[in-house]
């Protein structure tokens, strides 16, 4: 198995109260999968992602990627954050080149690679702009280009579209889906938006809070190209709603 989480536990002490973010969580992910970690706040989905990405250590259990224990962040696994994490003093081009610099890639080649990914995320012509001159959606596109530029094996995304408006969010969801098909990356995507998860994921890991744990794993039986309004899509979405007990008990029939 490519990514293997075994019996991971993580406790925090917050305001003098102990708080279990991960309670014996086990999960296996195959190479090339698009996984969504879905759940309400406090369910440990971000903690699990941070542990996978190497930013946090679990208290017990093990997390392995490609057979190696995760100890620290690696340039092979890039995380995309909700607040983008772009360097405001660098323009778009220079931001995308950031990871290439520490990989020791020569200047000319860096420019070439950066241009390629800037174009891929649809920001050709914005190379000389600074992050502050871009919209939230465009900034996140830059962050995605920066991540892709170092050719990582895995991309971790921590509620990456959470700060964007609904329309921009949908556009970015479509783009990340097509990018993930094109670039064949393993993507682990944290969200609390059920529709987002159904739209993107091959499998949805449904998590519950208090203590943070995996409730179930839903395989999404949809095609690569997904239609938010199709019957199948709504059916899967419905199933996930049920898992959160968010459907009314009595089925109300109504006509439009």
Provide the binding-site residues for another protein, judged by CB under 8 A: 53, 55, 72-75, 77-79, 81, 83, 85, 87-89, 91, 98-99, 101-103, 129-133, 150
Q: How far is the CB of 55 from another protein (least distance, A)?
A: 6
Residue whose CB is less far from another protein, 101 or 119: 101
How far is CA 188 from each of CA 65, 91, 160, rounded to the nearest angstrom? Answer: 13, 28, 11
Q: How far is the CB of 165 from another protein (least distance, A)?
A: 22
Residue whose CB is less far from another protein, 102 or 229: 102
Q: Which of 10, 57, 41, 48 lies closest to 27, judged by CA?
A: 48
Q: How far is the CB of 58 from another protein (least distance, A)?
A: 18
Task: List 156's β-bridge partners, or say none.
Answer: 79, 188
Strand ranges (E), 41-150: 60-65, 68-69, 77-80
Task: List 37's β-bridge partners, or say none.
Answer: 190, 205
Q: Which of 149, 165, 160 lies closest to 188, judged by CA?
A: 160
Give the C-alpha separation, 209 to 100, whole Å: 38
Q: How far is the CB of 99 from another protein (least distance, A)?
A: 4
Q: How far is the CB of 50 from another protein (least distance, A)?
A: 9
Give the C-alpha separation, 181 to 173, whole Å: 13
Helix-then-strand count for the chain, H and E? 7, 10
Residue whose CB is less far from another protein, 55 or 241: 55
Residue whose CB is less far from another protein, 154 or 201: 154
Q: How far is the CB of 151 from another protein (least distance, A)?
A: 12
Residue whose CB is less far from another protein, 160 or 211: 160
Q: Is 155 in contact with 146 (CB distance < 8 Å)? A: no
Residue whose CB is less far from another protein, 77 or 180: 77
- Token pair, residue 16, equals 């003098």
């Amino acid at each position: 198995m490519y990514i293997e989480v075994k019996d991971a536990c993580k406790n925090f002490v917050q305001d003098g109260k102990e708080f279990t973010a991960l309670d014996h969580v086990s999960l296996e992910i195959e190479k090339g999968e698009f996984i969504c970690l879905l759940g309400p706040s406090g369910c440990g989905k971000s903690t699990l992602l941070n542990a996978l990405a190497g930013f946090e250590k679990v208290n017990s259990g093990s997390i392995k990627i490609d057979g190696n224990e995760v100890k620290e962040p690696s340039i092979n696994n890039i995380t995309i954050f909700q607040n983008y994490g772009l360097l405001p003093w660098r323009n778009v081009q220079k931001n995308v080149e950031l990871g290439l610099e520490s990989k020791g890639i020569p200047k000319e080649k860096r420019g070439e690679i950066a241009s390629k990914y800037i174009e891929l995320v649809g920001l050709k012509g914005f190379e000389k702009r600074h992050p502050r001159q871009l919209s939230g959606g465009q900034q996140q596109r830059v962050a995605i280009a920066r991540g892709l530029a170092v050719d990582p094996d895995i991309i971790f995304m921590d509620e990456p579209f959470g700060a964007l408006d609904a329309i921009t969010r949908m556009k970015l969801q479509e783009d990340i889906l097509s990018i993930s098909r094109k670039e064949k990356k393993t993507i682990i995507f944290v969200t609390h938006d059920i529709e987002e998860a159904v739209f993107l994921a091959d499998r949805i890991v449904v998590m519950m809070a208090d203590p943070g744990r995996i409730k179930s794993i839903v395989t999404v039986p949809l095609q690569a190209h997904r239609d938010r309004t199709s019957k199948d899509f709504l059916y899967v979405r419905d199933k996930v709603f049920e898992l959160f007990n968010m459907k009314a008990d009595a089925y109300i029939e109504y006509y439009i």
